[in-house]
């Protein structure tokens, strides 16, 4: 009886594994490597205007494979990753690396419309860009007071 139960449990586990494989399609080694190259390229060129179709063409991979494999490997869609990189860089610039205006920072990271930039920035960082800059400068000056050089 125990062996029969183990057989049914094992068969059930195999069926669950097969169903899982169907939900999470596997990608060839070549596709996964191409997506890793796309990731590295994005990290170097995120300031540029990049589209998924351009990336797919450049790295000889279908848009569908690029999109699904990227999300599976990095946990988010390609476009969301690029936006996050741009906003992270904008936050760096606003936190004291430069005295660029918010409009110039927005333009640099690819937002032609400053209000769209401000909305996207606020959604991620919780404050509009100018408020974020002010808070970061206040934090930096507090740090200097506490830990003078």
Write the pLDDT tens digit of every residue in 72-131. Answer: 999 999 999 999 999 999 999 999 867 899 999 999 999 999 999 999 999 999 999 999
Identify whether the C-beta of residue 83 lies closer than 8 Å to the C-beta of residue 68: no
Identify whether the C-beta of residue 55 lies closer than 8 Å to the C-beta of residue 78: yes
25-30, Cβ contacts within 8 angstroms, sequence gap of 24 or more? 25/68, 27/65, 27/68, 27/69, 27/72
Identify whether the C-beta of residue 86 lies closer than 8 Å to the C-beta of residue 125: no
Distance CA 89, CA 82 (A): 11
pLDDT digits over 50-64, tens only?
999 999 999 999 999
| pLDDT over threshold 50, residue 21 | no
Tokens of 137: 């400068």
């Amino acid at each position: 009886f125990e062996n029969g139960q183990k057989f049914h449990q094992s068969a059930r586990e195999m069926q669950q594994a097969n169903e899982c494989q169907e939900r999470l399609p596997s990608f060839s080694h070549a596709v996964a490597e191409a997506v890793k190259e796309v990731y590295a390229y994005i990290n170097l060129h995120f300031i540029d205007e990049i589209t998924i179709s351009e990336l797919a063409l450049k790295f000889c991979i279908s848009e569908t494979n690029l999109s699904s494999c990227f999300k599976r490997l990095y946990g988010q869609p390609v476009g969301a990753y690029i936006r996050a990189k741009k906003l992270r860089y904008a936050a760096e610039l606003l936190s004291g690396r430069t005295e660029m205006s918010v409009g110039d920072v927005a333009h640099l990271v690819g937002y032609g419309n400053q209000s769209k930039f401000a909305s996207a920035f606020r959604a991620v960082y919780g404050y509009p860009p100018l408020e974020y800059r002010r808070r970061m400068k206040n934090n930096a000056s507090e740090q200097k007071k506490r830990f003078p050089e």
